Structure 1
Amino acid sequence: MTARSVQVAIIGGGVMAAWTAFHLARRGVKALIVERSFAGSQASGVNYGSMRVQGRYLPQLPLSLRAQAIWEESEKLLGVDVEFRRMGHIHVAVDAAQMDKIERYAVDAAAYGLHPEIVGRDALRRRWPWVAQHAVGLSWSALDGAVNPRLVVPALAAALRDMDVTILQGRRVVAAEKDGRGFALATEEGEEIRCELLLNMAGAWAGEVSAWFGEPVPLFVAGPSEMVTEPLPYFMEPTLQIVDGSIVVRQVERGNVIVAGHPRGPADAVAMRARMPGGKTLTNLQRVADIIPCLSGASIIRTWSGIEGYMPDMIPVIGPSATTSGLWHAFAFSGHGMQLAPALGAVMSEFVLDGRSATPLDAFSIARFREKAAVDEEYLKQEFDAGIVKV
């Protein structure tokens, strides 16, 4: 049996793990990443690439704003362009209730340092004439943007190789336990890994890891519904999202329009399969045409999905284990983790090495699931069938 001994081991090789290892390495600690498939193969590589700050869960804003500042420096940090672009984001209201929601959010977000601009119907028509006439207004954030998720983890992996950080790919951790010397991990491939500190960043499979340490959580999986059109003449700079989350649309510099729609599709974490149902393609095409009429004749050239981990409250688990010292969790980002990743990595490195961080994490504690460790199947059916799961 092959044995390794490291200070920090990270289970999972997605964007959260990669950014965490990056920040640790910059401070002289070379974590070992253990990934069951290949780095960035699931949620980190198949997501929409939204760099949206506005509209987030309010206690998440300190982390989100810190992340956006790091994304602004990503090309310098990583040495390559991962197509981070700050093109802005419009949160479009199609009725009075949605308009009221974004107006109240703008007031509440100001306390965290985020100041989206509320734009009424007439100004909307002047500034974004391609938005459908039935839109009643929107919230505009110039800070927000997008990134190419297919480029991010490969760029981080290359940077980590240059920092002599090891990523073990194709290694499934099947057991882990705490003993007097730290943690002992065993892989399906027959390797033993010992570490002083353990980070659970296993994404859709993180619930299995937390359960090994007496912390079961109601994690469930689903697949994003993504599609892209043929290249079209460039006309829309900001990302457009309807307030209810039913459709998100952006155009890349090459002219293709990328579309995400909710609810998400089925996923199987055991078989490692996810698919976008055919009916979703037609539904999303109609939604796009309804809110951006000039796209009504666009042709879809590709659809895709992946496996994402969710919590029923749509809030991730971040922070120390409630049962085991030296164990940290960061998982179930519920479809909105890509933007948070660089700040999450910085915060995790601070907690691991310093024992504290100025960025608060209390709202994301795993302890909130002590009273309920099972998925509420009826809740999920209502959320997904009704199409109101939010990004």
Structure 2
Amino acid sequence: MQVIVLGGGLMGTSTAFFLARRGVKVRLIERGYIGTGATVASFGNIRRTGRNLNQLPLAARSLALWNQSQELLGRDVEFRATGHLRLIFDAEARSDMQTFAEAARPWGFDIDQLEPAEIQRRFPGLGPSAIAASFSPRDGSANPRLVSPAFADAAAHHGAEIFSQAGVPEIRKTEAGFDVTTAQGRFSADILVNCAGGWGPAIAEQFDEPVPLAIRGPQMGVTEPLPHRILPVVGMWARDGGAYLRQVERGNVVFGGGVPQVDVPEGGFAHYDPAGLTRQLTKLVRLCPALADTTIIRHWSGTEGYVSDKLPIMGASGTTAGLFHAFGFCGHGFQLGPGVGDTMAELIATGASETPIDYMSITRFSA
């Protein structure tokens, strides 16, 4: 079996790694540089709280792999299980948290529900006006800038071939499988895996599988280094879109959310929009008032694919034998990444997956 994986983000590199680890011959092809799409723009959040309930088995599989990441990859990608604190500031959000907590329990996921006194005792200085919070102690974060190159290098160590700066691929279905022509050469394989992120629908459409996906850019920023006092990842339960932050070990506070993502034209680039900065920072300071006088040193955005029903595309093609998809993770795919790669490798190598993924099939959009 020969497999071509298109896309060098976390989904593509982890899929290539777990395939190569199974002894499958793999070529990973990335149009630009490894890890510079949605992955590098990510906040780096590894959270299960608030996730679609059907995704919890995949999230659990992925969390187990995050805990093995240094052993698997041979390097530190800064995974830290610092816990995920999600603050609540109004009754609607508290109701949403309690509904999720009750619904998630049968799936094997329990979250701690905290009252104000407990928040201030355990996390002094965070959310002083919060009326409640949830806490998931086993969740945390990792460094988005390190993880895709680490998976790509580890895949190469297991025999995968990695091709970056390959440009937009030309794909042709053949009797034997697929031919892919790129700036780095022409390649053939029995299996093609579409992990192209926001560009995934263009590949799927070539095989009569249109996907309603919009490309949007998150609004991210980072502060100057500060004394390290914020241990957990901090978020917000909010129906209008909550902000979130985390402090890295070097002291900088990475933040995002609080404002809508910016639409990105097809073939264009995502940009940071300063128009929403005041609104974003107001929510950020509500999470941590001590940040009010902090200097912001950089803003950025990136390219993320958002499917119309807010669920990603994952699994086998409904039209073409040998074609598989894993794209469109709607801004919440970072936590799932290793689990996606392991599950896709299992599905491709064995024809089945122990983790249920049928609800993410691309066939849900077929006529």
TM interval, shorter chain, is over 0.9
Alignment-derived partner of residue 301 in structure 1? 297
- Aligned residue for 1:210? 204
Structure 1 residue 250 and structure 2 residue 246: aligned? yes
Q: 2:226 aligns with which of 229, 232, 238?
A: 232
TM, length-normalised to structure 2:
0.95
Paired with 2:152 and 2:189, the residues of 1 have a C-alpha distance of 21
Q: Is the 8 A contact 1:217 1:369 kept in 2?
A: yes
Identity fraction in percent:
40
- Of 21, 27, 34, 2:22 maps to 27
Q: Does 1:323 align with 2:319?
A: yes
After superposition, residues 110-125 of structure 1 pair within 5 angstroms as 110-125=105-120
**Does residue 255 of structure 2 align to residue 259 of structure 1?**
yes
**Counterpart of 1:219?**
213
Is 2:283 the partner of 1:287?
yes
Work out the CA distance in 2 between the residues paired with 1:253 and 1:218. Answer: 39
Q: Which residue of 1 aligns with 2:267?
A: 270
In the alignment, structure 2 segments of 5+ residues that lack a partner are: none
Could you report, residue by residue, the CA deviation over 1:330-363 in whole angstroms, capped at 9, with x for unpaired residues? Answer: 0000111111111111111111010111100011
TM-score normalised by L of structure 1:
0.90
Q: What per-residue deviation string (whole Å, max 9, x for no partner) do you get for residues 272-330 of structure 1?
A: x2111112333222221123211111110111111111112211000111111111100
- Written as runs of structure 1 = structure 2, the 5 A alignment for 1:84-163 is 84-163=79-158
SS of corresponding position for 1:68: helix
Q: Is the contact made by 2:14 and 2:152 (CA closer than 8 Å) also made in structure 1? A: no
Root-mean-square deviation (CA, aligned residues, Å) is 1.5
**Equivalents in 2 of 1:172, 1:31: separation in Å?**
19
Alignment-mate amino acid for residue 209 of structure 2: E
2:49 to 9, 33, 54: 54
Q: Provide the C-alpha distance between the structure 1 equivalents of 2:261 and 2:318, rounded to a whole number of angstroms.
A: 31
Q: Which of 343, 349, 355 pairs up with 1:347?
A: 343
Separation in structure 2 between the aligned mates of residue 316 and residue 327 of structure 1, nearest angstrom: 16
Please show how residues 163-182 of structure 1 align to structure 2 within 5 Å. 163-182=158-177
Indicate conservation of the 8 Å contact 2:10/2:35, yes or no. Answer: yes
Whole-angstrom CA distance in 2 between matches of 1:106 and 1:316: 23
Match in the other structure for 1:78: 73
Unaligned runs of 5+ in 1: 1-5, 372-391
Q: CA deviation at 1:238?
A: 0.9
The Cα shift of 1:54 comes to 1.5
Moved more, 350-359 or 132-141: 132-141
Q: What does residue 311 of structure 1 align with?
A: 307
- The one-letter code matched in structure 2 to 1:129 is P
1:233-261 Cα shifts (integer Å, max 9, x gaps): 12211111111242011111111111011
Shift of 1:161: 2.5
Q: Within 1, Cα distance between the matches of 2:69 and 2:184?
A: 37
Q: Is the contact made by 1:118 and 1:139 (CA closer than 8 Å) also made in structure 2?
A: yes
What residue identity is the alignment partner of 1:266? D
Secondary structure in structure 2 of the residue aligned to 1:31:
strand
> Are positions 1:337 and 2:302 aligned together?
no
Deviates more, 1:259-268 or 1:208-217: 259-268
- For 2:223, give the aligned amino acid: T
User: What is the identity, as a one-letter code, of the residue corresponding to 1:153?
Assistant: S
In the alignment, the residues of structure 2 paired with residue 132 and residue 85 of structure 1 have an alpha-carbon distance, to the nearest angstrom, of: 22
Amino acid at match of 2:302: G
Q: Output the CA distance in 2 between the equivalents of 1:345 and 1:174.
A: 21
User: In the alignment, which residue of structure 2 is the partner of 1:200?
Assistant: 194
Question: SS of the counterpart of 2:28?
Answer: strand
Partners in 1 of 2:321 and 2:262 — Cα distance? 37
